[in-house]
Amino acid sequence: ALELTLTPALLLLQSTLDQLQEKDTAKIFSQPVNLAEVPDYLEFISQPMDFSTMRTRLEGHAYCSVADLEKDFNLMISNCLKYNSKDTMFHKTALQLQEVGGAILRHAHRQSQTIG
């Protein structure tokens, strides 16, 4: 059926998001930060981002390119680096994900150039 047909471009975005999320082994980025648990979060972070929101956007065709996906990934990481101080697990985990995610995104950019 048509709705199950994924264009190569959409498949690449979905695969890239899956690879990024796989690296979040502690699953601290799976869902939006729980504002009941972290009541002051929005005093510091104007645009929360997480992998579930990114997946909804992807499936809603909000991403036209790898760059669009990368923009929300970088927002999610920078939110975490801003809110959580350097000595926290959250901050250290975000730095690691930023590094490994960068390599995944660079590879996705190269692939998108070949599939057009």
Q: Which is nearer to ligand 5SJ, 3 or 37 (CB)?
A: 37
Listed ranges 5-13, 17-25, 30-38, 65-73: which one lies at the site for ligand 5SJ (CB under 6 A) = 30-38
Beta carbon nearer to ligand 5SJ, 42 or 115: 42
Residue 73 touches ligand 5SJ, criterion: CB under 6 A: no
CA separation, residue 29 to residues 13, 24, 100 (Å): 18, 7, 15
Q: Is 90 left (phi over 0), alpha (psi -120 to 50) or beta?
A: alpha
Residue 34, sorted as left (phi over 0), alpha (psi -120 to 50) or beta, turns out to be: beta
Our finding on whether 12 is near ligand 5SJ (CB under 6 A) is no
Phi-psi region of 61 (alpha: psi -120 to 50; beta: other; left: phi over 0): left
Q: Is 83 in the site for ligand 5SJ (CB under 6 A)?
A: yes
Q: Is the Cβ of residue 64 or residue 89 nearer to ligand 5SJ in the bound state? A: 89
| 84 is an interface residue for ligand 5SJ by CB under 6 A | yes
> Is residue 81 at the binding interface for ligand 5SJ, with CB under 6 A as the rule?
no
Of residues 28 and 100, the one with the C-beta less far from ligand 5SJ: 28
In this structure, the number of other CB atoms found within 10 A of the CB of residue 62 comes to 12
Residue type, 37: E
